[in-house]
Structure 1
Amino acid sequence: MIIVIDALNRDRLCELENEMYRLRARVFQNRLGWDVSVRDGLEKDEFDALDPAHVVSLDDAGNVVGCMRLLQTTGPHMLADVFANILDGEPPLRSPQLWEATRFCVDTERLACGGRTRSSISHVTSEVMIGAFEYGRQAGVLDAIAVIDPVMNRVMIRSGNAPYDYIGKTVDMGKVHALAALLDCSDERIERIRAFSGIRGDVFLTEDQALSLFAKRPSQIPAKTALEIYCDEQIAAASTTKERVDALRLKAALAAKVRSHSNISA
């Protein structure tokens, strides 16, 4: 279920928005090890201060399980100001009818189910995409541009959401390659994603519905153990790629050991 948070409702939905920033911190810093800015558990960058629209997915228990950021290309945006080398010297595309889609993520730890159930990664991914394209289309947007890696490109192709073109060149971005993909906000694309996912009907929540659902979630997030805090500190303090990778591997290994012990105890 989707709620879009933008400049018009941000004050009312600020707690829900902060939960989205916490998800981004867990995914981009803790799981992927990206060099992102996290403060008080929230992952934000300079583009979040430009009044983007955030497409946020909530599960039946009120948890934020997926999100995507939509930003106009007429001003600063990531392809123009962060990933400009992808453009290979060409000027960035700018149009009020072209938006940039970034910071897409899902809560893979919570979405443990497979298949196409409402709690699966595939379902939430498709739901966020449907929400983003339908919201953009209603706002008069014709196309979206997104910086993706080859893995995401293959996922999009398999799920009926294949880019119709690519801009610039593929470049190295740390441990992965990155490319800029163009996607149309069309009824045909939305229908292909719906057909793949089996999602029918309205995916959007009203503000009141979103707040009511969000209030159902557990009131407190379990506190981190001393071991988890230590691992996160090592990840944040890493000054080289090797140190960051080693710290991430240590955290993953310790987490696996804890899960294995829990299964034995059960």
Structure 2
Amino acid sequence: MIHVVSDVNRSEYRSYLRQLWQQRYEVFVEKMGWSLDCAKGIERDRFDHAETIYLLSINDKGLLKGAMRLLPTEKPHLLGEAFPNLCADKVPTAADTWEVSRFYSLTGRHLLLERDRTVSELVCGLFEYGLMHDIRHVTCVASMVLFPTILKAGWNVTPLGLPDVVDGEVVLAFQIDLDESHYQSVCATRGVEGSVLYNAPTLVPELEVAV
């Protein structure tokens, strides 16, 4: 099942968040070779803060098997701060647009859309949570190697600009629309029936946006 962690219930998931940052180090630094500015053994950055929403895949034995991070685009986020050059126009920022980052699964080869149960539930959980909380678009940066698979996932994908090389890897920024029709399509494509959310806090932390 997918557990939603926000500032509302973060204290209940402290041990899982510690595991999350350890797993992210193993996946992104040790296995994928990303050059990240982090302490050894812990991959946690300035975007892991009180307003961050985490979707955690926790199996029936209580083991953390994968996760993704959601950030409000009206606040500092990875695409806007680190990769704005990947957007042909302005970086998308809106109350109904959030960013997905640090998406991984321990059950497969750590690829974004490898067909396994963990990834399938995380993807469907993203749609389910987004539709519940008026999130209509998510932005993401991913390797071009994954893009053909991303396009086949059953959702509406729009590239935000041309690919570029980052740390020797060709990456692309794109936007995914979250709506009911694409949610049904994604669930059917990935063989998921019914809700995958274990919990869904009714409150998203209030965002103070400077105008």
- Show the counterpart of 2:148: 154
When Rg is computed on C-alpha atoms for both structures, the one with the higher figure is 1
The answer to whether structure 1 residue 17 and structure 2 residue 17 are counterparts is: yes
Structure 1 residue 177, shift from structure 2 partner: 1.1
Do the aligned residues in 1 keep the contact of 2:99 with 2:138 (CA within 8 Å)?
A: yes
Once residues 50 and 180 of structure 1 are traced to their aligned partners in structure 2, the CA distance between those partners, rounded to angstroms, is 25
Instruction: Note the aligned Cα RMSD (angstroms).
Output: 1.9
Once residues 152 and 87 of structure 1 are traced to their aligned partners in structure 2, the CA distance between those partners, rounded to angstroms, is 18
Q: Which has the higher helix share?
A: 1
The answer to whether structure 1 residue 140 and structure 2 residue 134 are counterparts is: yes
1:51–1:196 CA distance, 2 compared to 1 (3 A): same
Once residues 49 and 128 of structure 1 are traced to their aligned partners in structure 2, the CA distance between those partners, rounded to angstroms, is 21
Q: Deviations over 1:98-130 (max 9, x none)?
A: 00111111114xx48xxxxxxx85221121011
Identity of aligned residues (%): 27
Structure 1 residue 50, shift from structure 2 partner: 4.8
Pick from 167, 174, 185: which aligns with 1:181? Answer: 174
Equivalent runs, 1:79-158 vs 2, <5 Å: 79-88=79-88, 90-108=89-107, 111=108, 122-158=116-152
1:8–1:196 CA distance, 2 compared to 1 (3 A): same
> Any idea what SS the aligned residue of 2:12 has?
coil
Structure 1 residue 37, shift from structure 2 partner: 3.6
Q: Which has the higher strand share?
A: 2
Q: Relative contact order (C-alpha < 8 Å, sep 6+): which is higher?
A: 2
Once residues 188 and 28 of structure 2 are traced to their aligned partners in structure 1, the CA distance between those partners, rounded to angstroms, is 30
Once residues 65 and 94 of structure 2 are traced to their aligned partners in structure 1, the CA distance between those partners, rounded to angstroms, is 31
1:168–1:130 CA distance, 2 compared to 1 (3 A): same
Residue identity in the other structure for 1:199: V
Aligned residues: 196
Equivalent runs, 1:234-253 vs 2, <5 Å: none
Q: Deviations over 1:23-48 (max 9, x none)?
A: 11110011011112443632101111
Once residues 148 and 64 of structure 2 are traced to their aligned partners in structure 1, the CA distance between those partners, rounded to angstroms, is 25
Once residues 195 and 135 of structure 1 are traced to their aligned partners in structure 2, the CA distance between those partners, rounded to angstroms, is 17
The answer to whether structure 1 residue 76 and structure 2 residue 70 are counterparts is: no
Structure 1 residue 55, shift from structure 2 partner: 0.7
- Show the counterpart of 1:117: none
- Show the counterpart of 2:196: 203
Once residues 153 and 66 of structure 1 are traced to their aligned partners in structure 2, the CA distance between those partners, rounded to angstroms, is 20
Once residues 162 and 22 of structure 1 are traced to their aligned partners in structure 2, the CA distance between those partners, rounded to angstroms, is 32
> Any idea what SS the aligned residue of 1:11 has?
helix
Do the aligned residues in 2 keep the contact of 1:25 with 1:43 (CA within 8 Å)?
A: yes
Residue identity in the other structure for 1:196: T
> Any idea what SS the aligned residue of 1:169 has?
coil
Do the aligned residues in 1 keep the contact of 2:7 with 2:50 (CA within 8 Å)?
A: no
Residue identity in the other structure for 2:2: I
Do the aligned residues in 1 keep the contact of 2:144 with 2:163 (CA within 8 Å)?
A: no
> Any idea what SS the aligned residue of 1:168 has?
coil
Do the aligned residues in 1 keep the contact of 2:72 with 2:99 (CA within 8 Å)?
A: yes
- Show the counterpart of 2:185: 192
Gaps of 5+ in 2: 201-211
Detail structure 1 runs of 4+ shifted over 4 Å in the superposition.
none
Q: Deviations over 1:6-64 (max 9, x none)?
A: 11111121111111111111100110111124436321011112521011111232211
Residue identity in the other structure for 1:190: Y
Pick from 141, 161, 169: which aligns with 2:162? Answer: 169
Equivalent runs, 1:47-66 vs 2, <5 Å: 47-66=47-66
Residue identity in the other structure for 2:103: F
